[in-house]
Structure 1
């Protein structure tokens, strides 16, 4: 069986789905591994490193796609590449089916068996495959580091003979994996950190990291199945906006991470709130791709509004592509090991992990959340 990693064709994507370390693991299991030339270069993994681990380097992308049994990707595959895959080939990666539902009929028509890793169920057995957690962890860290780089002051309290510099105040919106890592990183840098999340379960986690949890006085909670947040009522949203308006104006750095699967990101920071912040303050919006948590966010750009720097990263993980690729490729390797029931490479369709992530199979769209359009 030939497992392939292509050079990602999506703009801003520098990750690679197979690192040399993982290529060797596949080879040791008896798989053949082929990497498109320079696929890992932007993540710091050179062709020679792959060859040393037993993988082959292929210069012709079209030829590689046509002979692949399994294609692993870090971003959605171009429709032209999908159409070049042989029938019943496997495509596994972050396929973003909510944003790219138009690709599903193409996968269906091409008779591709596809798995979207962001649909992985949140169960103990799937933790080593959990790409959202591994990638979000790095995103939360990098968001704070980037904010510190843009911020024109120091993070920690500094007492000198020339006077005292107060600690920076950091607010994190959304206390999922990315948010918790942002809190931890900001604390390590010496900032005074507070955080907000609609989920009541997040309060203890936030406080355990030494941050202050901001609470909205309301009976409604945002806890949904699988640890995710649900969309809140209009009454709650208004109470939330009133509370955040009080808090935001005193912050130096805001990291926003709040997202709802399959929906646009909720706007938590209004243009009026941005205007109330001190000049030189920084907002890093990790929800930029799904619309942004800040009204002034522009995806893929850094803008300045009323002296406030608003960063809407196009792909923050590509700014830490080496580590992101390392963790992502390990997640995929663990998924592949679980995928096949035996050495005949028969897929175990009784496995919850497999059925939860499968988008298309046998020329049909099989995921219940993405029914075929009539």
Structure 2
């Protein structure tokens, strides 16, 4: 069993799918591990560290030659997989709903694409969930980046020269990223409030010491949507929420938006008119900017100033924390493969529940039900 890891080639990608820690663990399972030279440098992992962990460091894409499994953060181009064994697995993120051409190419190439984004949100798969681990870091980074742009202190400070008031931070969307954003803003001393369309999140918001801001006149979603995500709301609810947000957002210094709906553009949460009500010097961080944006006028990796308000957001937020993001991502991949490791077969053998969820292509065809039609 040969496991290979290539250097990430997507623009702005700093993470790597294998660390010396997980390389050593794969070797302990009996696998041979090959890493492309320089694959971990942007995540502060030198080639020598991989060698010390028992991995083979190979120049260029030749690292995949003879590979049974290829690991990636973002799925590599099919051309770079030349030399991998027929039917080789590729475990990575594929952005399946937006990358149909890439997935078709994997099918034609005879590779078995395993999409880590499609990992089911079930208890036994929590340690394999790359979306959660990366979103956690993204929520943290959103607050830290906003604090840097804000130009004022987050906590209340009492000095001989007078009192500095605490920043007011509003988090929109209380998934993994939103919860971490709330926790981080609280740790920095801000006054934090948050909202979500799922009424079940009120308790989570309050447990972190933040104030829940919810539409009470129109019923929202009682529990979780599919896969733990929210779903689109009725027009009545959207109108009521817009009115509530408009009155609340005008008083905020920092706003973090986190809303995503799988397979669809990010929902618009903040309009230009609402931005205009905010105080000059306020900051909005749009965590969904790479998927169309929650905020009108937001642009990936650019600072947009509208009505004196800074609007920021990264196309790949967790990549701004390369070392920690790589460590968590690599552990997710190891947890995934090791959970199904068959000692007799000396390779992982996926069960039906998780295998059917993450498998995109097999036997030259696109097989995932979520991509049907």
TM-score (ref. length: structure 2): 0.96
**Which one is further off, 270-279 or 41-50?**
270-279
2:281 aligns with 280
**Match for residue 112 of structure 1?**
111
How far does residue 67 in structure 1 lie from its aligned partner after superposition?
2.5
2:242 corresponds in structure 1 to 241
What is the aligned partner in structure 1 of residue 371 from structure 2? 370
Question: Which stretch has the larger CA shift, 203-212 or 335-344?
Answer: 335-344
CA–CA distance in 2 between the matches of 1:230 and 1:255? 19
Number of equivalent positions: 371
Q: Does 1:185 align with 2:175?
A: no
Which of 225-234 and 117-126 deviates more?
225-234
* Cα offsets for 1:190-236 (capped at 9, x unmatched): 00000010011111000100001111121232741332201111221
Q: Which residue matches 1:261? A: 262
* Structure-1 residue corresponding to 2:161: 162
The 2-side partners of 1:350 and 1:243 are apart by: 46
Deviations 1:126-170 (A, max 9, x none): 111111111111111111111111111000011111111110000
| Aligned mates of 1:42, 1:179 — CA distance in 2 | 27
2:218 corresponds to: 218
Instruction: Return the alpha-carbon distance in structure 2 between the equivalents of residues 85 and 322 of structure 1.
Output: 28
* Match of residue 296 from structure 1: 297
What are structure 1's unaligned runs of at least 5 residues? none
1:1-374 equivalences in 2 (<5 Å): 1-61=1-61, 63-82=62-81, 85-216=84-215, 217-221=217-221, 223-345=224-346, 348-371=349-372
The Cα of 1:349 is off from its aligned counterpart by 4.9
- Contact 2:338–2:348 (Cα < 8 Å) also in 1: no
Aligned-residue offset at 1:64: 2.1
CA deviations 1:313-342 (Å, max 9, x no partner) are 021111101000001100000111123444
Contact 2:33 2:56 in 1 (8 A): yes
Q: 1:184: how far off? A: 0.4
Q: 1:84 to 1:234 in 2, by over 3 A?
A: farther
Residues 199, 220 of structure 2: 8 Å contact kept: no
Task: Name the CA distance, whole Å, in 2 between partners of 1:71 and 1:275.
Answer: 48
CA contact (8 A) 2:75 2:90 kept: no
**TM-aligned CA deviation for residue 360 of structure 1:** 0.7
Distance 1:347 1:20 in 2: 20
How far apart are the structure 1 equivalents of 2:365 and 2:346? 20
Q: CA deviation at 1:350?
A: 3.7
TM-score (norm 1): 0.96
SS of 1:201's equivalent in the other structure is helix
More displaced stretch, 203-212 vs 343-352: 343-352
Distance 1:349 1:155, change over 3 A: closer
Q: Distance in 1 between matches of 2:166 and 2:135?
A: 26
Shift of 1:69: 1.5
* CA distance in 2: counterparts of 1:36 and 1:111, whole angstroms: 22
In 1, distance between residues paired with 2:42 and 2:348? 33
SS of 1:310's equivalent in the other structure is: strand
Which stretch of structure 1 is more off in the superposition, 226-235 or 186-195? 226-235
Q: Is the 8 A contact 1:303 1:310 kept in 2?
A: yes
| 8 Å CA contact retained: 1:82, 1:106 | no
Separation in 2, partners of 1:187, 1:85 = 48
Pairwise CA RMSD of aligned residues? Answer: 1.5
In structure 1, distance between residues paired with 2:134 and 2:344: 30
CA contact (8 A) 2:142 2:256 kept: yes
Deviation by residue 1:17-36 (Cα, 9 ceiling, x = unmatched): 00011111111111111111
